[in-house]
Structure 1
């Protein structure tokens, strides 16, 4: 007998007479990881070359949604929204993902899909990738044994495999404890999986304990070719290839046990694939016709889904089970998309963009629902939906009413599943990895910027997706009323704390729809602020002036939020592996003018780099010392390296640059030890570009003890390639400092080039855009020599070959 919900459901589905006491359906939610819209055959018959027979069969037996979306272009945000029915940007996670060893994102008192099902008598199980944080019992003293252990993607430095007794002791202590804050505290009765398969700890977790105690570092060989991303504690026999099969085994076991039990079950199966690590089981290696590991991994993922569907059939509960299949975001471009497309496979199908983007390819995903007796087989639905809708769908299926504090953004899909074809959302909100909002209303989509999808900053972009699915024709200037209409919808959704009818709720933190470029007027200094006057005719070419930057908060200190002003190249995608250049402004550690290097940043962004102008604390505003500024500069480099993937940066090609006091700070990031506030993540840059820098602070004759932050006194072997631009007539920082520094670097065996500008004084390198009294000759020569230096040391071309 089918487990139908009510007589009304039975009639709507034309499934025959209603049962006297209808039973609740089992529920299986399968969430693929980084599976693109075009990676599934039935979604991309013309431009896809990877067979997915099991997912296709699910579509034949159910309803395929063609305009379904995740709430974000990346992982953790989508998982939060799916499980809570609430947009993730209402929480602290307004950009990026939950970091390694991160704290729980779902509040302890928030109702989840699992908690709702449990209230209605379900056994609830989560099998797979959690990535929503735990309360790891790691003390402040133990942190250094868990973070910054080498490797890539934020690990910093060369991967090593040797452990210390202190490391192993810390791991043994932590992994012997219960781990609070995980799935079993958020509505699930049982959990088995890996928190994040490409991050430590490299072991399974069952309920709230690790399965075994990791006692070694993951071998360096596992950190290459799209496998693991961070080095960290691992079990001695840990094999990345075993993760996906183990999840399939446990999911099938949950189904077998659930079929025998007297209560219905809910299985949430967030797979680890085809996300990295692309660790393919032996029987699937080389199986794809296009000869690409990602294609093999997609086929293996499809086979795992087939195993789950088979388990439902063989245990006699397939007809009693609601199955929902979707993906958390689009395909990750860094897994080799150019090679896939060259072989005829387009992971985003007809869509623009990939994982992390506000473009459709970042968040339009496969979404299939099979529910025998309710959903008509072989149907499609073109209405706009979102994975946030699963919460309200389950509530209606169970005859439950959600409280005002739950599912604030979730709309039930039941009317569509029963064959209706009317819109269920007035608007659906999308979000890029960098925090760019995009709002879909009807056929129109408005991208607010800055970042992916809106490369010219805060100016909105408007697209008619019915006529322009690839998002190539911007209609914002032609249809200003639509821009205002959709903007007003977004403002209301933010203000109300919800997008559905009901009592207004509070967002966890303030939500900024558009992050404006910094406009605060800097104090008067020896470097005048920018003006709105047009540049002189001898200014750098206008091709060096693309979009305004987007702002990212990298540190909070002295009651201020310190920002990175990020200038993205126009074609940037997360995981691109670009060179990053981080500029630090001058002003004697006293002034406040982060726009000093804006023209440099725009120039190198146009060359494909991710160019960044960094704020830091200064005495005039924060009452701080130069040592505090050094701490901030190191924190800025750490942030860029830790967030390299979402920034599109190669963590091993970060250049620190700056002028005067900013040149000192750039040098200190790499040359001066310490000043990391107890953080072990790598703060050293991979190259230094210094403009009339202060290199020997002992010559300043100040009361501070400046030796500890004086680059001249810390020169040693192994420093990265450096170039110093300096005027021979500089009276603020005498040229003799550069000569002494160059000799010390050479004696230590380091590369140090000096670009001497004869007769020039302090600040000669500034652009006319910033200092109106200057001509462009010296500025353009600095750009030329800096470019040549970056080319010699393989920072340019900006994209990793």
Structure 2
């Protein structure tokens, strides 16, 4: 009998150990809440915890740094917002669509197609409640007052050639927006705060009919010295257009913060939630609330960043008060580097503040400062506190990371440029991405592979080859040095494969939307 009991105990231990090593099914996966905070036009030098020389104070973001992991080499897929945000949502480079460059405006058609999977759709399918509060900037399809066909802009197939604002029926629901792309709830804005219409939407309808007109503000050709010297005016940039009568740009950050805090406070805990918070600071118009004006040493731009930091603090406090911070992944990052309009280069000497820190370039550029962004992850009891990871990652990795987190099966032809960073978060250096591709406002290309980065430009003398490990500030261009011709060829071959295969993840080659070879692929176009 004694031997039988020992045998049972031995079998029980063996089964237990085997179960511990078995992959968890979806039903047994512990599902953390996910809060993804996206700043709008923020450089790595704009966070005091990442830049000791910063003339701003961001204590709430610093707490995330102290409690979590900082990725020191995180990049957006583009140095401007629409394509960068597309990659966050879909795990795919935006130039795989018909949008080969530039950004959308407030009346552009939906960029994300119905059959495209997204990170929020994936999370919905796996038991998450999903919400977005903030700036969309990926287009949606308005309904019109009459049945008409409008010509599209030849430079942007998602944008109308003419102003169609007076043709839109603002009372009708729109399609192709956040709630059609995986969000159960949406509150926010169609595009940037300098694009009309200036009005909030909830789910798939406007909250208020925009019956007033926003007066234009910003750069003035009659300003002493002309547009280039109108520094303060540029920071106020707003385009003329329709607005809700009670809409105030300087209140938007507060409104988004309050909505987010309310969402967390009212969370029922029946499902885990994904809360996507694409905020509007410090993008133009640079309008900090009165209580933040004068609080930094970097002018109103620094003041606006400090309001952004306050928002981060409010979100974390709401999670703590709800008692769910321990089981919530908090990600703080930005859609691209700092804008020259929000903080003109001349102000770097005036205030001794450098938004890109030691990096060259700003928003819209292929240089490092255009697409290198803060990326901080707090995940209590999983991510090592106050840790750093130097792996070159991409914001397009959200899709694959969510799938990995939930052990979720996905279509291999979705999220075709996304790689999971979950092993990195858990202290394992496994990360399968061989190269990263970046684009700029004009739709030109850059590739990073290992320590090497190459920017291609048809203008003579304007292409770059940089060893980022040895030259992070991009001062020594090796592109035209014959000794590095083999490296140029290696990176060109790698870039061609990523583009022409229609994917960078393993799988059968796919086709990109639009022409196989377009103008920005000038090095391939010239070979035809």
TM range (shorter): 0.7 to 0.9
Conservation of the 8 A alpha-carbon contact between 2:217 and 2:237: no
Partner of 2:317: 310
Distance 1:220 1:327 in 2: 27
Q: What secondary structure, in the 3-state scheme, does the structure 1 residue paired with 2:83 have?
A: helix
In structure 2, the CA distance between the partners of 1:385 and 1:233, relative to structure 1 (3 Å rule), is same
**258, 261, 267: which one pairs with 1:252?**
261
**79, 89, 95: which one pairs with 1:89?**
95
In structure 2, the CA distance between the partners of 1:511 and 1:418, relative to structure 1 (3 Å rule), is farther
In structure 2, the CA distance between the partners of 1:222 and 1:203, relative to structure 1 (3 Å rule), is farther
Q: How many residues align?
A: 478
More displaced 10-residue stretch of structure 1: 230-239 or 356-365: 230-239
Conservation of the 8 A alpha-carbon contact between 1:63 and 1:368: yes
Query: Per chain length, whose mean CA-contact separation is higher, i.e. which structure has more relative contact order (CA < 8 Å, sep 6+)?
Result: 2
Distance 1:362 1:450 in 2: 19
**474, 486, 494: which one pairs with 2:491?**
486
In structure 2, the CA distance between the partners of 1:155 and 1:503, relative to structure 1 (3 Å rule), is closer
Counterpart check, 1:239 vs 2:234:
no
Conservation of the 8 A alpha-carbon contact between 1:25 and 1:320: yes
Distance 2:287 2:146 in 1: 33
Q: Note the C-alpha offset of 1:355.
A: 0.3
Q: Note the C-alpha offset of 1:409.
A: 0.5
**11, 26, 29: which one pairs with 2:36?**
29
Taking structure 1 as the reference length, the TM-score comes to 0.57
Q: Note the C-alpha offset of 1:518.
A: 9.7
Q: How does 1:448-597 map to 2 (within 5 A)?
A: 448-450=456-458, 456-457=461-462, 460-476=463-479, 477=481, 478-509=483-514, 510-512=516-518, 514-515=521-522
Conservation of the 8 A alpha-carbon contact between 1:123 and 1:265: yes
In structure 2, the CA distance between the partners of 1:104 and 1:492, relative to structure 1 (3 Å rule), is same
Partner of 1:114: 120
Q: What secondary structure, in the 3-state scheme, does the structure 2 residue paired with 1:326 have?
A: strand
Distance 1:64 1:194 in 2: 29
Distance 1:265 1:342 in 2: 44
What stretches of structure 2 of length at least 5 have no aligned partner?
1-16, 22-26, 154-159, 220-232
Distance 2:188 2:90 in 1: 20
Counterpart check, 1:338 vs 2:343:
no
In structure 2, the CA distance between the partners of 1:225 and 1:473, relative to structure 1 (3 Å rule), is closer
Partner of 2:223: none
Distance 1:337 1:312 in 2: 37
Partner of 2:131: 125
- Deviations along 1:55-114, one digit per CA (max 9) or x if unpaired, are 111011110000000000000000000110011111112111113310011111111010
- Deviations along 1:341-380, one digit per CA (max 9) or x if unpaired, are 3321100000000000000000010001111121111100
**203, 209, 213: which one pairs with 1:217?**
213
Q: Note the C-alpha offset of 1:502.
A: 2.0
Q: What secondary structure, in the 3-state scheme, does the structure 2 residue paired with 1:483 have?
A: helix
- Deviations along 1:18-75, one digit per CA (max 9) or x if unpaired, are xx95531101111110011111112211x31111111111011110000000000000
Conservation of the 8 A alpha-carbon contact between 1:383 and 1:422: no
Taking structure 2 as the reference length, the TM-score comes to 0.85
Q: Note the C-alpha offset of 1:225.
A: 4.7
Distance 1:142 1:242 in 2: 36
Larger Rg: 1
**189, 192, 203: which one pairs with 1:207?**
203
Distance 2:525 2:89 in 1: 36
Counterpart check, 1:428 vs 2:424:
no
Q: What secondary structure, in the 3-state scheme, does the structure 2 residue paired with 1:67 have?
A: strand
What stretches of structure 1 of length at least 5 have no aligned partner?
1-6, 12-19, 148-153, 157-165, 521-801
Q: Note the C-alpha offset of 1:228.
A: 4.2
In structure 2, the CA distance between the partners of 1:128 and 1:435, relative to structure 1 (3 Å rule), is same
Q: Note the C-alpha offset of 1:219.
A: 2.8
Instruction: Give the alignment's Cα RMSD to 1 decimal.
Output: 2.8
Q: Note the C-alpha offset of 1:261.
A: 2.9
Counterpart check, 1:325 vs 2:327:
no
**156, 173, 177: which one pairs with 1:182?**
177
Q: What secondary structure, in the 3-state scheme, does the structure 1 residue paired with 2:337 have?
A: coil
In structure 2, the CA distance between the partners of 1:488 and 1:306, relative to structure 1 (3 Å rule), is same
Q: Note the C-alpha offset of 1:424.
A: 3.3
Conservation of the 8 A alpha-carbon contact between 1:494 and 1:511: no
